[in-house]
Every structure is written in C-alpha cells, then in structure tokens.
C-alpha cells in the first residue's frame, strides 16, 4: 500500500491521479489533499477518499470547506503557504504527487524533500525556478523525483535499462498546439477562446495557453536538463501533432527508442506511482492502421519565440529561468483576464528577461527575490 499526498487534487492531473486510486484501492490510500480553489469538488473528494488533512489557499476557503464537509469524517484543515508545506511533509504519507500550478509548487517540493518523501512531479516550474537546488536536495536526502509530465515520463522509460554513457540525445515532442498551421500574420487576431481550444490534450487554462505559445515545451526543456542531467544542446524539440510518440531518446549507436500511447495523462501518472511495475488501466493502444502515418516537424521560431526564450534562459542559468517563468505566469494570467492580446505574452516575457540583471548561483532567497522582481516588472509592462 502506497500512501499518497495529492497536492493540486482538483486540477487535471490531480483528478486523473484520483481516478487511478479509485481503480486500485488495494494499492493506494490518500492521506492528504490540497487545492487552491474549487472547494465544492475538494469537499466531495474528502468525503470519498477520507484524507487525514487538507490544505487550501486562504482562510476564507478553509472556512467554506469546513462548512462544506458533511458527515462524521472531518480532516484537519489548514491553509496558506504554511498549510501547503505541512501537507507536503505529512508524516503518514510516503509519496507526494506535486500537481500544483506554477511557482506555488516550489516550497512544498522542498518541504517534501526535507521530509524524505518520494515525489511524483507534475509541477515543472519547481525545476525551472530552482532545478539545481531541488536536485541537490533530492540527492542529499536519497529521494527519487519521478516525472509525471507525459514527455518526461517517456524519456524516463526510454532511459531505463540503458547505460548513461550510451545516451546521445533527447527528442522532446510537442503537439504544436492549436496554432501550428496558423500563418503568423493571423496571430494578432487570436482570441482567448481560440487559444483555449487545444486539439489534443484536456488541461487546465494556464498550461493550455502555455501549449498555444509553446512556452510549455520551453519549460519542459529546462525541466529535462535538471531531471536527466543533460545539456540544452542535447535536446531537440519536434512538433508531433498526432501526440502518439510522447518523446524519444537517441543513443550513440544511432538507435532511437520511442515511448508511445494515446493522449491520456493517466498512464504517466500511474507509471510514476507504480514503477517499476505497471498497472492495467484498461486503456486502448493507438490505432496505428487508422493513423496511417506519424509526422514530425521542427517548430517555427518566428511563430513561437517562447522556445528560444527558454533555451536562452537555460543556457544563462542563475536567476534567468525563474524570471522567464514568473514573467510568463503574469503574462498568461493577464491574457486569461483579457487584459492583453496573445502576442503581448511574448513581448512581456522577452522584455522582462532583457531588463533582468542575472545573478549566478543564487540561493533559494535569491531565486524567490528574482521571481518577485520579474512579477512586478511584468505587471508594470502590462
């Protein structure tokens, strides 16, 4: 029996993880749930899974949740940054699924590592902001960080059983989002509804916009650098609209291993929770005959400059990846609130990075300070 803390239980990753728990109640129990909003769904999850504690964003949410939880079972309810960190380090849990959105996942990740909890990581921003610090802490505490992103799970699976010295290249696949075939001259007319209409994946609004700008893939490049100990020059991004090949790894003998499956995050989540074994998820294989072909292309750097921003931030290191992430979060939120247009996301991220005076080898406080600076600067540009 594996005892889980699901941080971000009401989001797309969290709800899919709980689907896995429903399928295998003899394999998994839920000790902790956390959410930022959607108190109604969280209350239903509490009644079903009966966690020992839950954490929400603020006191108002905590009071609303306390009134929403009916019946005899009442978990401990905490809130705020402290509540999330206590949730991540909860004593009776042994695996923390970190599915919180954005920079909010960093401190809970560090709290989980300090408590020597195994982490199933869906929050890529944790490694984007502070990859070196996080990976060093994981090694010091003998803790595994298992990837939940479908692409990083694919890379992880392709690397297993192969020697480190035989590795040569990662091929990181991307769906290309809803605008891969849209002429760049039409980008100025993109609406919020257009950007939220992803052709392949069902995700939350922030990550869906990141997919539309291809910033999501840029963040995944930085995440892969830290997870797998490679350089950005050893990563090639390929647009693969069928979303069947979730990523590939090339080796020194010219052989490339690919991990394939239908576009459903449940598979990657289940593998992180059950590896090295696999769970029967009653999922179909891709219908290869019906697909007829699998296509790959290079992303257009003019249409999707976010990839270039991410590679540049990764090469500069220091505080620049945190600035990239923070300015993007602010810009995406402004776009979701219809305060700026789609193309302004690129302008705000680029301008914020250009104005930043990078700090090399920052400690955690330096990263948090850079994150705060970037948010204020991005807001001023908006």
Burial (Cβ within 10 Å: 0-12, 13-18, ≥19) of residue 222:
buried
Residues 34-62 pLDDT 10s: 999 899 999 999 999 999 999 999 999 99
Encoded tokens for 180: 């891969």
User: Residue 13: in which H helix or E strand, if any?
Assistant: helix 12-23
Put the strands of the sheet holding 53-56 in their side by side order: 76-79, 53-56, 28-34, 2-7, 95-98, 118-121, 145-147
Residue 315: other Cβ atoms inside 10 A: 12
- pLDDT above 90 for 202: no
Confidence of residue 103 (pLDDT cuts 50, 70, 90): confident
- pLDDT at 37 (0 to 100): 85
Partners of 169 in beta bridges: 250
Confidence of residue 282 (pLDDT cuts 50, 70, 90): very high
- pLDDT at 198 (0 to 100): 79
pLDDT above 90: percentage of residues in the chain: 92
Q: How far apart are CA 106 and CA 375, in angstroms?
A: 16
Q: How far apart are CA 321 and CA 309, in angstroms?
A: 9
Domains of the chain: 2-147 (3.40.50.720), 152-181+202-303 (no CATH)
Q: What is the torsional sign of CA 239, 242, 244, 250?
A: negative
- pLDDT at 27 (0 to 100): 96
Q: Does the predicted model carry a pTM greater than 0.75?
A: yes
Residues 56-101 pLDDT 10s: 999 999 999 999 887 778 899 999 999 999 999 999 999 999 999 8
Print burial letters for 4-31: b (CB count within 10 Å at least 16), e (below 16).
bbbbbbbbbbbbbbbebbebbeeebbbb
Confidence of residue 249 (pLDDT cuts 50, 70, 90): very high
For range 149-172, the mean pLDDT:
96
Q: How far apart are CA 253 and CA 167, in angstroms?
A: 9
Query: Which backbone phi and psi does 56 adopt, to 5 degrees?
Result: -130, 180
Burial (Cβ within 10 Å: 0-12, 13-18, ≥19) of residue 186:
exposed
- pLDDT above 90 for 203: no
- pLDDT above 90 for 288: yes
Residues 302-353 pLDDT 10s: 999 999 999 999 999 999 999 999 999 999 999 999 999 999 999 999 999 9
């Amino acid at each position: 029996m594996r005892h889980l803390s699901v941080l971000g239980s009401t989001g797309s990753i969290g709800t899919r993880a709980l689907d896995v728990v429903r399928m295998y109640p003899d394999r998994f129990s839920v000790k902790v749930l956390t959410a930022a909003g959607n108190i109604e769904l969280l209350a239903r999850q509490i009644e079903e899974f009966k966690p020992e504690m839950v954490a929400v964003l603020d006191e108002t949410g905590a009071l609303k949740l306390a009134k929403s939880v009916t019946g005899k079972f009442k978990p401990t309810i905490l809130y705020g940054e402290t509540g999330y960190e206590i949730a991540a380090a909860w004593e009776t849990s042994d695996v923390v699924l970190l599915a919180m959105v954005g920079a909010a996942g960093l401190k809970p990740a560090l709290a989980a590592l300090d408590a020597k909890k195994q982490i199933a990581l869906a929050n890529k921003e944790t490694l984007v902001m502070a990859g070196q610090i996080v990976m060093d802490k994981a090694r010091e505490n003998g803790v595994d960080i298992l990837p939940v992103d479908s692409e990083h799970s694919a890379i992880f699976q392709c690397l297993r059983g192969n020697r480190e010295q035989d590795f040569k290249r990662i091929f990181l696949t991307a769906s290309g989002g809803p605008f891969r075939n849209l002429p760049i001259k039409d980008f100025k007319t993109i609406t919020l509804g257009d950007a939220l209409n992803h052709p392949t994946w069902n995700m939350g609004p922030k990550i869906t916009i990141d997919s539309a700008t291809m910033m999501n893939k840029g963040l995944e490049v930085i995440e892969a650098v830290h997870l797998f100990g490679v350089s950005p020059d050893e990563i090639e991004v390929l647009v693969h609209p069928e979303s069947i090949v979730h990523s590939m790894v090339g080796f020194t003998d010219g052989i490339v291993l690919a991990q394939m499956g239908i576009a459903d995050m449940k598979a990657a989540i289940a593998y992180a929770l059950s590896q090295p074994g696999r769970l029967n998820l009653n999922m179909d294989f891709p219908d290869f005959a019906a697909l007829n072909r699998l296509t790959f292309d290079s992303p257009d750097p003019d249409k999707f400059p976010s990839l270039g921003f991410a590679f540049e931030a990764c090469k500069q290191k220091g505080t620049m990846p945190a600035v990239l992430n923070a300015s993007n979060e602010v810009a995406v939120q402004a776009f979701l609130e219809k305060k700026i247009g789609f193309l302004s996301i690129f302008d705000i991220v680029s301008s914020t990075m250009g104005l930043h005076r990078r700090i090399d080898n920052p400690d955690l406080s330096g990263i948090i300070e850079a994150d705060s600076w970037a948010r204020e600067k991005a807001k001023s540009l908006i």
